[in-house]
Amino acid sequence: MEFIGDLSQAAPRLVHAGLDRSGLTSARDQLVESLRALARAGIVHADLSVYNLLWGEALLVVIDFRQAVEVTTNLEAPALLHRDLVNVATSLGRRGVALDVEAVFAQLLTDAFSGPYTAPP
């Protein structure tokens, strides 16, 4: 757990960060990398939106994992992952930045199911 922000205020939500297209493109690319790392760890956020992303000094930070699910054990996980991607793609698309939902979805499922093997207890 780490506070994202400075002494005077918390880092803004992505939706309130006032980014131009190049900032949003960087945010999108960082988001995909973060989602790939999460997928490899077997985690679907399941409440992803531009309100649960912080923009701290050019660094995108995903927050609010309270609804997160395990990708390999929750039958809803793929649908939730797809919904997450549609949510952010819709917001980014409105601001002129494309996110290829189906391509990223396929990549994340591949990541999730080829992640590190952990032996059962």
Ligand X SMILES: Nc1ncnc2c1ncn2[C@@H]1O[C@H](COP(=O)(O)OP(=O)(O)OP(=O)(O)O)[C@@H](O)[C@H]1O
Closest listed residue to residue 56, CA positions, set 37, 81, 30, 35: 30
Active site residue 111: no
**Burial class of 106 by CB neighbour count within 10 A (0 to 12, 13 to 18, 19+):** exposed
Residues numbered 3-32 forming contacts with ligand X, rule: CB under 6 A = 3-5, 10-11
Min dist CB 61 to ligand X, Å, is 7
From 26, 40, 51, 107, residue interacting with ligand X (rule: CB under 6 A): 51
The one catalytic residue among 6, 20, 29, 64: 64
Min dist CB 4 to ligand X, Å, is 4
Active site residue 84: no
Instruction: Confirm or reject binding of residue 117 to ligand X (CB under 6 A).
Output: no
Residues numbered 53-72 forming contacts with ligand X, rule: CB under 6 A = 54, 63-64
Catalytic positions, please? Answer: 47, 64
